[in-house]
Structure 1
Amino acid sequence: MLSRTDALAAGRALGLAMPPWVRSAADVPGLHWPWTSAIGAGLLTIDGKRVKPGPLPASWDAVGGEQLLGCWLLAFARVLATVFPDDGDGAQSLEIGRLALTVLATDPAPTGPDLNDAIRHAILYSDPRLYQTFDYGHGTREPAEVALDLLTAFGAVTAGGAQHRITPLGRWAVQQIGVRVRDLLNHAPDAQAIGPTCQLKITLRHVRPPCWRRIQLPSSATLGDLHMIIQVAFDWDDDHLHAFTIGRRQYGDPYFDAEYDEQDITLAEVFAHTRKPITYTYDFGDDWRHDIVLEQVTDADPDIPYSVCVAGRGDAPTEDTQDDWITFDRPVINTRLAGLAQHDPHVDQLLSDDIETILTDAYGDAEELTAFLTVLEEEIDFPVPAMLLGNPIVVTGMTADDATGELRVCSKPQQHRGTVAFADLEFPVGTVEAWLHAAYLTYLGRPTPTPTRPATWTGLSRWVTP
């Protein structure tokens, strides 16, 4: 480690503008891009708090022209990602660099203020979200000027007064970014290999006593899969909107106009570039926020082919109220998680067909609710046993609550009469009521284990209109 005096001398020898006091490399702005480039190209590597030679110097004598260009491109991609951070895998920062170079590759290329406008417009018209990344974090500086400075520093552009010209290296980079974007992202220096299984600790904020669940699940699971798992782990009903927040990005269900699709990104991709906690928000009214921390990555356990809750603490609040609490029951959670992972496409199709039969000629929420009520009252042989939050009850009948738009049940003991939502019950496996309950949950879009179709049940054929 250099002393402060030696650090000042070394910086000046490199032609860097040095401040009077240097505590770390962060105090030398002129060092940021070269340092980042060296890490990106593989000249240096960081091991904890120590800097070591990277893999490139060991093979320097054997490095050819094509490999040098590849190292240049990796360094360029790395610096782009630091100047235009997108809180993702770096794809947006690469696209910003490619679009800026594409503008400069036009003939004739715009100059002066027209060049700045052309770069801004190219990025804005490509994707408004891309422009947010482009325009973020530069203070009073024009982001197009920041991009031009970067391109000039890397030799992709030459600058003379108000005139910027793309170089042969810059034209080569335009083509390479387009065809090698995935390779560049996969070789990003901050990308970390994620094992086949992730262990997450998911903690519900602002709940006392603390409420958390430790979940092991495949790293190939998407954020959409994780949404379903959290719903089961905390006994949520999936009746409200939700979103995952990763940096400045929000992922959710595109059907509800989510900015990014939660099914398009896996946990391996999320945690390859960051180990910071991510946030899952459920019910934007009550604002239930869950902090998700990656605790460790492990090899897959062949005996556990699905997600599993390995630990937890604290009862979860009942949805839409903070007066009641749902007891933490790990075996019940794991039974439901197993059901999520064991869906049979054939059974799913049968369930879908029955839902379609029930909703025949039903238009609008009110008619669909009535259609379900009519079929369930005819097909279920009341009274039937059920479980409510782990407690046995007897369901004696059903009704439709027009105010809430849901089916409710009459039951024994009497204190539950008229107050129990049909969706909150569990029925014995293999019964007609369990099958129709699964159909109702599927209709609501709520997670449900794969049901077993009753062997002696003739189904809903009598409800099919000729």
Structure 2
Amino acid sequence: MKAYQIKIELKDSSPSIWRRVIIPADVTFKRLHDTIQFAMDWQDYHLYEFDIPQEQLRITNDEEAYEQFKYYSTKFKSKELPKAKDKREFISRVLERTIRKPQSVKIDKYLETYKELEYVYDFGDYWRHRVTFENVLEDYPYGYPQIIDGEGACPPEDVGGIGGYANFLEAWSDAQHPDHEAMRSWGEVQRYREFNIHEKNDLFKCCLKLKKTTRGQ
């Protein structure tokens, strides 16, 4: 089976948080999203998007944005956008980028062509990830992804982005910090934990194994 070796990095994280993963090639962006979520240890609570600026393409599970794009792109497909109806350029901004659903687009063309993608998870905390194509494997024996290397614990959900995570780590690590006990309790509720490659790979094998369904990969 053809597969890709990719590196997933949480941008601006310090110390660096990253995973090196092998993923079957013939999968959709929905499956790539699932892979990132499992590998990084996110909880899949929020909206996400992949940005491909070379093609003015946004791939997202943001249903509202998709429906807006679908409506306006159909309505103004064959005629010029009337300025009177777009005084604040709202429609123009909606139509700046094509929006597609992640389960409808496969990753192979984009990874092999552009070598690097940006994935944003949680539009509030705005976790930006760099997904880098590293290699092609022609004889990958599994139908599910596998982590082969990585470092760093995933931040807790809703911690407040990179800045909030830095504050969290300061309190988490310092027993003398006034918020130490509160952050310890909150972090445990949020399932904050060290990266464990064996645990993650067991999860991949159990939960992402060859799900070739009508919903897509």
Q: Which has the larger radius of gyration?
A: 1
2:156 aligned with 1:318, yes or no?
Answer: yes
Asked whether the 8 Å contact 1:244–1:250 carries over to 2, the reply is yes
Match of 1:308 in 2: 146
**Structure-2 residue corresponding to 1:296:** 135
1:67 aligned residue: none
Instruction: Say whether 1:286 aligns with 2:125.
Output: yes
Q: What's the CA shift for 1:340? A: 2.6
Q: 2:108 aligns with which of 268, 277, 285?
A: 268
Runs of 5+ in structure 2 lacking a partner?
67-98, 160-164, 169-186
Select the structure with the greater relative contact order (CA < 8 A; seq sep ≥ 6).
Answer: 2
Normalising by structure 1, we get a TM-score of 0.31
Counterpart in the other structure of 1:212: 18
User: Which residue type is aligned with residue 231 of structure 1?
Assistant: Q
- Tell me, in whole angstroms, the C-alpha distance in 2 between the residues paired with 1:291 and 1:266: 18
Tell me, what secondary structure is at the counterpart of 2:148? strand
Q: Which amino acid aligns with 2:100?
A: Y
Residue equivalent to 1:86: none
Q: Out of 246, 249, 257, which is 2:65 matched to?
A: 257
Distance 1:310 1:245, change over 3 A: same
Partner of 1:330 in structure 2? 197
- 2:108 and 2:9 map into 1 onto residues whose CA distance is 20
CA offsets 1:74-123 (integer angstroms, 9 cap, x no match): xxxxxxxxxxxxxxxxxxxxxxxxxxxxxxxxxxxxxxxxxxxxxxxxxx
Q: CA RMSD of the aligned region, Å?
A: 2.2
Q: 2:6 aligns with which of 200, 203, 215?
A: 200
Question: Could you state the TM-score of these two structures normalised by the residue count of structure 2?
Answer: 0.64
1:243 corresponds, among 40, 43, 49, to 49
For structure 1, the 5+ residue unaligned runs are 1-194, 349-466
Give yes or no for contact 2:48–2:62 (8 Å, CA) kept in 1.
no
CA contact (8 A) 2:50 2:59 kept: yes
Task: Give how far 1:343 is off.
Answer: 6.7
Distance 1:272 1:199 in 2: 11
CA distance in 1 between counterparts of 2:144 and 2:211 reads: 14
Aligned residues: 150
Q: CA deviation at 1:254?
A: 5.8
Structure 1 segment 106-185 matched on structure 2, within 5 A: none
Indicate conservation of the 8 Å contact 1:200/1:295, yes or no.
yes
Change (3 A) 1:224 1:209: same
Aligned partner of 1:209: which letter? Answer: P
Residue in 2 that maps onto 1:78 = none
- Tell me what 2:37 maps to: 231
TM-superposed deviation, 1:283: 0.4
- Structure 1 stretches of at least 4 aligned residues deviating more than 6 Å after TM superposition: none
CA contact (8 A) 2:47 2:62 kept: no
Superposed displacement of residue 274, structure 1: 2.0
**Are the equivalent residues in 1 in contact too, given 2:143–2:209 (CA < 8 A)?**
no
Shift of 1:252: 1.2
CA contact (8 A) 1:217 1:307 kept: yes
Percent identity, aligned pairs only? Answer: 29
